[in-house]
């Protein structure tokens, strides 16, 4: 390639030449190239060098964040948001305190409980443990948790628009009450707070109210549920007492049943729910729990978690399997008594399976001959029930000392087929049905049918803290 650059003038002329080594021509002989030369390609067009528009996004200063600058898309959404730290949960008067001053505020309870409660997580972030704070301030770990959670509940009530007059009622001793409604939704908390203030509830009543409001949506299939208003705290609590009264009725505890019904009438708010309570209390309504057949005379009881531990009297019974037919029932111990000051249980023979039940009235006086028969499901019970109850295992408590079939409306434990002709095991049959079949004796009269506790909706709030 030879480049020439010339400059001419009237006085002198000059010529500059520059020689550059040219590349090897394609016609050279080489094993990697074809033998016939090919002409070099010729560029027939020039590249398009027209400038393209460029979009620029300028992040304005903090005072002008609402303005966006772009040459092409002025409405484009801002992609970058500068970090803004969350607001301090501490009240303004406590924000500039050092660690010693914060500890002093907690130790002397300087201020209202919801003002110094945020100091606890603040000190925890500084490395203090609950036990260390308890040692320094005298506030136990349980109380620390209650104060922090109750403070969060109070903040939520403020966000949900609870009026100042109601909020002021929780300034003294309010942490215990607000802590109990921690698992409710925002709207439920507001309704519960107003209801507690209106009725002057204490901590135990607040706990029952929170349980009732949390539990109410799960009781859709229970008798009378549709007559109570789930948005009313009073109706939820009244339904709670209404169910408790049904359990007392199943255990033949009439006095406790009436007491629970009276409590329900004190807190109920809607007229439809009040009518149901009045009808049941006067004996006009049906207060059976899940039992559809009104001719059922045997009590059905669902155990609750911890019920045995809370009972002042318990009954210990040998347990037999229904599929073992009559052999286990007849071989089970007859006597099981508590002896001595400690009530040490003594039995006449060894037995592998036992159950401890609360001293419900139908079985409280069962001194000898009692036995509990375990059924894998309630399908062999001779009355109509909802399908979900039919699938549950049950315990049938029978008195082997009352084998004669004498009561038409009573229920008796017999072999399948009544006279032992079947091979499916034990069943429960109505007295009238057995008489029509000519059966005069059974393995024992049924006193009680027990359902297991339901873990998924037990009437106890789970403390997620």
Whole-angstrom distance, CA of residue 152 vs CA of residue 179: 9
Instruction: Tell me how crowded residue 239 is: count the other CB atoms within 10 A of its CB.
Output: 29
Task: Say whether 58 sits in a helix, a strand or coil.
Answer: strand
Question: b/e for 195-222, b at 16 or more Cβ within 10 A?
Answer: bbbeeebeeebbbbbbbbbbbbeebeeb
Q: Which residues contact 361 (CB under 8 A, 6 or more apart)?
A: 251, 252, 253
Contact 20, 1 (CB under 8 A): yes
Instruction: Tell me how crowded residue 304 is: count the other CB atoms within 10 A of its CB.
Output: 15
Please tell me the predicted confidence (pLDDT) of residue 334.
Answer: 83
Q: Where residue 274 falls among pLDDT bands split at 50, 70, 90?
A: very high
Please tell me the predicted confidence (pLDDT) of residue 459.
Answer: 42
Encoded tokens for 167: 């909020």
Q: Where residue 147 falls among pLDDT bands split at 50, 70, 90?
A: very high
Q: What percent of the chain has pLDDT over 70?
A: 71
- Residue bearing tokens 């949390």: 214
Encoded tokens for 115: 């003002």
Q: What is the pTM of this model?
A: 0.49
Task: Say whether 118 sits in a helix, a strand or coil.
Answer: coil
Encoded tokens for 175: 């942490």
Report the first-to-last Cα separation within the chain, whole angstroms.
85
Please tell me the predicted confidence (pLDDT) of residue 428.
Answer: 86
Whole-angstrom distance, CA of residue 406 vs CA of residue 303: 30
Encoded tokens for 74: 């002025």
Please tell me the predicted confidence (pLDDT) of residue 39.
Answer: 52
Please tell me the predicted confidence (pLDDT) of residue 223.
Answer: 80
According to DSSP, the β-strands at 370-375 and 314-321 are parallel
Q: Does residue 117 or residue 76 have the better pLDDT?
A: 117
Q: Does residue 236 or residue 244 have the better pLDDT?
A: 236
At 31-68, the pLDDT tens digits run 444 445 555 555 455 555 555 555 555 555 554 444 44
Please tell me the predicted confidence (pLDDT) of residue 387.
Answer: 64
Please tell me the predicted confidence (pLDDT) of residue 5.
Answer: 44
At 353-374, the pLDDT tens digits run 888 888 877 787 777 888 889 8
At 75-85, the pLDDT tens digits run 555 556 665 65
Distance of CA 282 to the CA centre of its chain: 36
Please tell me the predicted confidence (pLDDT) of residue 228.
Answer: 95
Determine the average pLDDT of the residues in 114-121. 90
Comparing 176-185, 208-217, 233-242, 425-434, which segment has the lowest mean pLDDT?
425-434
């Amino acid at each position: 390639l030879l480049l020439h650059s010339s400059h001419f003038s009237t006085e002198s002329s000059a010529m500059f030449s520059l020689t550059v080594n040219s590349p090897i021509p394609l016609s050279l002989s080489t094993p990697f190239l074809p033998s016939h030369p090919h002409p070099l390609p010729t560029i027939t067009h020039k590249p398009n060098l027209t400038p393209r528009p460029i979009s620029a996004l300028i992040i304005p200063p903090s005072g002008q964040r609402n303005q966006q600058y772009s040459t092409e898309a002025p409405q484009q959404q801002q992609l970058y948001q500068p970090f803004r730290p969350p607001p301090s949960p501490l009240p303004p008067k406590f924000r500039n305190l050092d660690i010693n001053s914060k500890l002093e505020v907690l130790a002397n309870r300087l201020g209202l409980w919801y003002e110094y409660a945020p100091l606890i997580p603040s000190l925890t972030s500084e490395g203090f443990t609950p036990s260390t704070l308890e040692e320094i301030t005298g506030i136990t770990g349980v109380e620390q948790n209650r104060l922090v959670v109750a403070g969060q509940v109070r903040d939520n009530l403020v966000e949900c628009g609870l009026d100042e007059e109601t909020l002021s009622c929780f300034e003294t001793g309010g942490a215990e009450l607000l802590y109990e409604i921690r698992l409710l939704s925002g709207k439920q908390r507001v309704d519960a707070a107003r209801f507690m203030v209106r009725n002057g509830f204490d901590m135990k009543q607040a706990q029952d109210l929170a349980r009732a409001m949390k539990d109410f949506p799960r009781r859709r299939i229970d008798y009378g549920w549709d007559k109570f208003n789930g948005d009313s705290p009073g109706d939820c609590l009244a339904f709670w007492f209404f169910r408790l009264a049904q359990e007392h009725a199943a255990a033949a505890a009439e006095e406790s049943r009436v007491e629970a019904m009276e409590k329900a009438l004190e807190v109920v708010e809607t007229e439809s729910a009040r009518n149901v309570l009045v009808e049941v209390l006067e004996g006009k309504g049906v207060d059976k729990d899940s039992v559809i057949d009104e001719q059922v005379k045997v009590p059905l009881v669902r155990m609750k978690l911890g019920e045995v531990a809370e009972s002042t009297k318990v009954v210990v019974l040998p347990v037999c399997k229904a599929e073992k037919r009559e052999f286990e029932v007849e071989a089970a111990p007859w006597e099981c008594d508590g002896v001595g000051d400690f009530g040490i249980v003594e039995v006449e023979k060894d037995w592998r399976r036992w159950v401890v039940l609360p001293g419900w009235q139908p079985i409280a006086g069962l001194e000898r001959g009692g036995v509990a028969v375990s059924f894998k499901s309630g399908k062999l019970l001779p009355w109509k029930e909802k399908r979900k109850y039919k699938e549950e295992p049950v315990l049938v408590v029978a008195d082997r000392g009352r084998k004669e079939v004498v009561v038409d409306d009573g229920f008796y434990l017999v072999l399948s087929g009544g006279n032992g002709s079947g091979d499916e095991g034990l069943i429960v049959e109505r007295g009238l049905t057995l008489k029509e079949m000519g059966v005069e004796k059974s393995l024992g009269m049924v006193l009680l049918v027990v359902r297991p506790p339901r873990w998924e909706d037990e009437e106890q709030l789970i403390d997620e803290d």
